Chains A and B, each alone.
Chain A
Amino acid sequence: MTTLYALLESRLIDGNLIALLQSLTRESGEAFELVTAAPLAAIIAHPSASSPPISRELLLHYAATVERLTEAVSLLPMRHGSTLPSSAEVISMLQLNAVSCIDALKRVYNKAEYSLRLFASPEQQKNAISAGVDGDNSLPEALQGETQNKRYLAEKYRVHLAEEHHRQYIETLKSRLRKDLGEVSLDIEFKKPLPSGFIADMVLLVERNSKERLRSIVKNIQSNYPEYDVILTGPWPPYNFSQIRMQ
């Protein structure tokens, strides 16, 4: 069995990458190697005969290895569990998927992924939304009246209005963040669904040399949105920007 760690352009293979693979082989006991089918290459490993069963440690080790590789070269990171029966199958896969892999590699070339999240307690979110949306809170004329049915519908309508304001607030916030971050990142993806407590959760693809610029923009975002805790993490391998349609 062959484990896939990453795909890259074969022109980027250099002495540093080969030295890193040798070092990973020494440290892990897995035999790391490069297989090429120009213009692509894959970083693979042959697990030792006594491979440990799947565990949290194994997943973290895989992720840490992909991260070290990403620091050395622009690549498409694979996820744990990406395996093929042999090196020959890897070469066939590279040949079959050359076009979509090259497109995806161009997208991430010399870039890194960052995660940006805006956190606030549900109570803080409610306050921010009611202060930030100029919505009309009045009931429509059709619901004015004192019958039981109308009172019931009016109650439902208020909940509906609050949900609409929430949606509208998030859309406005997303568009502002997109504008603020557009200076360093044209590739921004907002994640759904939002985990509880987060009002925005996004991943950004940013030039490797723009880390400090990004940090400074995020500091400004924090100043503009003191009601939220802004959390920026990275750089990460570009997992969220590496979608390829495998044949």
Chain B
Amino acid sequence: MDDDKILFFAGSADAIVDELEKIRQGSQARINATPENVESGLAKLVLTLIELIRKLIEKQAMRRIDGNSLTEEQIESLGETLMKLEKKMEELKKIFNLTDKDLNLDLGPLGNLL
């Protein structure tokens, strides 16, 4: 960018360059499916979608807690269900050798899925 286009900036360019470098590295993450790794590529896609649904369920649960609409019994049951769901996800990630970082999709201008 031409210097004359920067009308105001009093900060440090280094910090911004660092953050932009992180974005650049993040944007290189793609589902790279080939005949040899198609299974793990598919697992990554499916687990990402399951993780999205799990997080939505979690969010909805927090809203219900906020709304104070759950009984003691329902609270206990909710906690147990969410905990088991999270454990199951951890197991599946281990089976397919995936980390939390892998479970995301770059949706271009819309940003990341998670």
Which residues of A are at the interface with B, using a C-beta cutoff of 8 A? 114, 119, 121, 140-143, 147-150, 152-153, 156-157, 160, 192-193, 195-198, 211, 214-215, 218-219, 222, 229-234, 236
Interface string of B12-38 (1 = CB under 8 A from A): 100110011011001000000000000
Task: Give the residue among B7, B9, B65, B110 with the most A Cβ atoms within 10 A.
Answer: B7
Question: Please, how many residues of chain B have a CB less than 8 angstroms from a CB on the other chain?
Answer: 36
With an 8 A cutoff between CB atoms, is B88 at the interface? no
Which residues of B are at the interface with A, using a C-beta cutoff of 8 A? 1, 5-12, 15-16, 19-20, 22-23, 26, 58-59, 61-62, 65-66, 68, 70, 72, 75-80, 82-83, 110-112
Q: Which of A114, A140, A142 contacts B7 (CB 8 A)?
A: A114
CB within 8 Å for A234 and B5 given contacts A142-B68, A142-B75:
yes
Residues of B within 8 A of A119 (CB): 11, 15-16, 19
Residues of A within 8 A of B111 (CB): 192-193
Task: Give the residue among A156, A192, A214 with the most B Cβ atoms within 10 A.
Answer: A156
CB of A156 within 8 A of CB of B10, answer: no
| Interface majority SS (helix, strand, loop, mixed), chain B | helix
CB within 8 Å for A193 and B15 given contacts A149-B83, A153-B65, A230-B10:
no
CB of A153 within 8 A of CB of B6, answer: no
